[in-house]
Amino acid sequence: MDAIIRRTINLFRYLKSKFEIKHILVIELLKETLGFFRNK
């Protein structure tokens, strides 16, 4: 059980580091989209 949790955390960290830049871009895109709909 503990090994599964550790593996999941490692996978999550790997994905997080791999998609860090994209993640930031997605947040910015969401902000832009929300701002666009709010201004309508």
The model's pLDDT over 1-40, given as tens digits with 9 standing for 90+, comes to: 799 999 999 998 888 787 777 777 888 999 999 988 888 7
The per-residue b/e assignment along 2-37, b for 16 or more CB within 10 angstroms, e otherwise, is eeeeeeeeeeeeeeeeeeeeeeeeeeeeeeeeeeee
Rounded to two decimals, the pTM is 0.41
